[in-house]
């Protein structure tokens, strides 16, 4: 019996995808609460992602939750015995609700049923999970609620009233997804996917040095058409810019990401504008720069474009002579924005990037002066293109700061913190 169970657990673990967020929640203690809902299956994967991200996970399930998924599964995935009853006598003081709520850095209820949300709204304590939510120290143990229900239950005025009430009482209500539901209907009320829950939790727990800022990021290459099937472009995966957009959002900013042709997923909560050519990127970026407070130019913009893009595919004519192409220079988006009155007056803080192949420091200092930006982040092109890690040299008026090789995700966070430290302070 024991061996069968062991094999089943191994299969379950293998089925659940690994994530790239290893270590993001190291040292965090997360209490994961499950209530009755079909979305409980997503909580199994969420639990696995949490442990992979380094969190210690304590699962608490309501009686209804146990109808949908077993505590055995959740114990295997969290590596800790699951609590299901307020009468659990395991704790020496026999006060599971007090101990559990004091041992958590955050409580996440996923799925949160309509009934459970109603219990929270009323401050009820019928079951261990509702009881420990009521008993939690409000400042030390934030409560995140991931609703999951049928679209009519979601839209019902009572549910919406209860959600407003629990938000007013200090809960952080996560958004719901839209789509096909287990009941066969289509609409709002689906619980977020496991990966989305993890992103929301990491963002929630991140420091917020950019609260109130509007960050504008350009990322990826541009594509300059020669004819309908050919063009010239730059080597850029967009990974650094996307990581910066995500880190800025986690730091509390409103983020707009102007993306050249890349195939990366949009970070949660980020407004993405897809563009093709440098002229498209220029137009979209200039428009957004009117309201942005920070501009970070990571895009590898093509310096030149063909003077005339042919309307039809250019054919070989048999003469052996290649076609001659004339080029015109593209606008320098960063330099233009850095010269704008808002940037000059300090309302818009500009950060440039430089991909060099040698002499990083000297080239970075020269580029910072040429572009007229307060901060320039330099990297070695061949050591960053397409990779998941990188190293940066930050150059500003004060000198040089080295950010040693790390994942682009970690570097993006460090860069965001460095930018936040350099922002002109608002008058008190």
Catalytic residues: 183
Q: Which is nearer to ligand C5P, 193 or 332 (CB)?
A: 332
- 109 and 33 in contact (C-beta within 8 Å)? yes
Counting contacts by CB under 6 A, is residue 53 touching ligand C5P?
no
Q: Which is nearer to ligand C5P, 56 or 298 (CB)?
A: 298
Nearest distance, CB of residue 220 and ligand C5P, angstroms = 10
Counting contacts by CB under 6 A, is residue 332 touching ligand C5P?
yes
- Selected range binding ligand C5P among 121-129, 165-173, 351-359, 413-421, rule: CB under 6 A: 351-359
Q: Which of 33, 147, 195, 352 binds ligand C5P (CB under 6 A)?
A: 352
Three-point CA angle 158, 164, 166, nearest 5°: 100
- Selected range binding ligand C5P among 163-171, 297-305, 310-318, 406-414, rule: CB under 6 A: 297-305
- Selected range binding ligand C5P among 177-185, 194-202, 291-299, 392-400, rule: CB under 6 A: 291-299
Alpha-carbon span 372 to 279, nearest angstrom: 21
Backbone angles phi, psi at 250, to 5 degrees: -60, -30
Counting contacts by CB under 6 A, is residue 330 touching ligand C5P?
yes
Counting contacts by CB under 6 A, is residue 348 touching ligand C5P?
no
- Selected range binding ligand C5P among 58-66, 146-154, 349-357, 411-419, rule: CB under 6 A: 349-357
Counting contacts by CB under 6 A, is residue 396 touching ligand C5P?
no
Q: Which is nearer to ligand C5P, 189 or 238 (CB)?
A: 238
Q: Give the list of residues 6+ apart from residue 381 with CB closer than 8 angstroms, or none.
A: 235, 355, 356, 357
Counting contacts by CB under 6 A, is residue 297 touching ligand C5P?
yes
Q: Which of 334, 375, 415, 416 binds ligand C5P (CB under 6 A)?
A: 334
| Helix orientation angle between 157-168 and 114-122, rounded to the nearest 10 degrees | 50
Q: Which is nearer to ligand C5P, 76 or 292 (CB)?
A: 292
Alpha-carbon span 173 to 271, nearest angstrom: 21
- Contact string (CB under 6 A) for ligand C5P, positions 193-232, x = contact: -------------------------x--------------
Q: Which is nearer to ligand C5P, 188 or 365 (CB)?
A: 365
Count of positions on this chain that bind ligand C5P (CB under 6 A): 13
Q: What is the CA radius of gyration of the chain?
A: 26
- 301 and 330 in contact (C-beta within 8 Å)? yes
- Contact string (CB under 6 A) for ligand C5P, positions 265-284, x = contact: -------------x------
Exposure string over 116-144, b if 16+ CB within 10 A, otherwise e: bbbbbbeeebebbbbbbbebbeeeebbbb
Residue entry with tokens 């999951």: 148
Alpha-carbon span 42 to 192, nearest angstrom: 9
Q: Which is nearer to ligand C5P, 133 or 240 (CB)?
A: 240
- 243 and 392 in contact (C-beta within 8 Å)? no
Q: Which of 333, 360, 375, 411 binds ligand C5P (CB under 6 A)?
A: 333
Q: Would you list the DSSP string of 322-382?
A: PPP--EEEPP-HHHHHHTSHHHHTTSSEEEEEEEESS-HHHHHHHHHHHHT-SEEEEEEGG
Alpha-carbon span 25 to 203, nearest angstrom: 11
Counting contacts by CB under 6 A, is residue 237 touching ligand C5P?
no
Q: Which is nearer to ligand C5P, 177 or 331 (CB)?
A: 331
Q: Which of 30, 236, 353, 384 binds ligand C5P (CB under 6 A)?
A: 353
Alpha-carbon span 67 to 375, nearest angstrom: 56
Alpha-carbon span 113 to 129, nearest angstrom: 12
Nearest distance, CB of residue 14 and ligand C5P, angstroms = 42
Count of CB atoms situated within 10 Å of the CB of 189:
24
User: Where along the sequence are the contacts to ligand C5P (CB under 6 A)?
Assistant: 218, 278, 297-299, 301, 330, 332-334, 352-354
């Amino acid at each position: 019996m024991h061996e069968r169970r062991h094999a089943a657990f191994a299969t379950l673990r293998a089925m659940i995808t690994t994530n790239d967020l290893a270590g993001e929640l190291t040292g965090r203690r997360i209490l994961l609460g499950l209530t009755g809902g079909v979305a409980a299956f997503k909580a199994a994967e969420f639990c696995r992602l949490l442990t992979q991200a380094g969190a210690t996970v304590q699962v608490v399930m309501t009686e209804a939750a146990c109808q949908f998924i077993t505590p055995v599964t959740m114990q295997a995935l969290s590596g800790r015995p699951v609590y299901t009853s307020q009468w659990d006598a395991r704790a020496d003081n026999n006060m599971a609700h007090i101990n559990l709520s004091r041992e958590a850095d955050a409580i996440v209820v996923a799925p949160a049923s309509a009934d459970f949300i109603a219990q929270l709204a009323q401050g009820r304590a019928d079951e261990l999970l509702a009881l420990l939510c009521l008993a939690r120290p409000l400042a030390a143990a934030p409560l995140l609620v991931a609703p999951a229900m049928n679209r009519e239950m979601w839209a019902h005025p009572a549910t919406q009233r209860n959600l407003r009430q629990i938000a007013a009482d200090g809960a952080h209500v996560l958004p719901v997804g839209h789509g096909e539901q287990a009941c066969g209907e289509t609409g709002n009320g689906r619980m977020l996917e496991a990966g989305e829950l993890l992103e929301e939790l990491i963002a929630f727990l991140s420091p917020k040095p950019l609260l109130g800022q509007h960050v504008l990021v350009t990322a990826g290459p541009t594509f300059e058409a020669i004819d309908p099937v050919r063009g010239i472009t730059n080597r850029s995966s967009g990974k650094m810019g996307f990581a910066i957009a995500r880190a800025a959002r986690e730091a509390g900013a409103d983020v707009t990401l102007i993306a050249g042709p890349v195939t990366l997923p949009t970070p949660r909560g980020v407004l993405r504008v897809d563009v093709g050519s440098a002229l498209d990127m220029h137009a979209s970026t200039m428009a957004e720069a009117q309201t942005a407070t920070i501009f970070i130019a990571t895009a590898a913009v093509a310096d030149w474009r063909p003077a005339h893009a042919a309307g039809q595919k250019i054919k070989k004519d048999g003469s052996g002579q290649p076609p001659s192409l004339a080029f015109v220079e593209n606008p320098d988006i960063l330099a233009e924005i850095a010269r704008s009155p808002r940037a000059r007056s300090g309302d818009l803080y500009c950060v440039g990037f430089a991909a060099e192949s040698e002499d990083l420091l000297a080239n970075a200092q020269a580029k910072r002066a040429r572009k007229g930006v307060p901060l320039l982040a330099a990297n070695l092109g061949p050591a960053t293109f397409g990779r998941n890690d990188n190293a940066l040299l930050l150059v500003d008026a004060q000198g040089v700061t080295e950010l040693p090789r790390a994942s682009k995700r970690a570097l993006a966070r460090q860069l965001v913190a460095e930018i936040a430290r350099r922002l002109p302070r608002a008058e008190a």
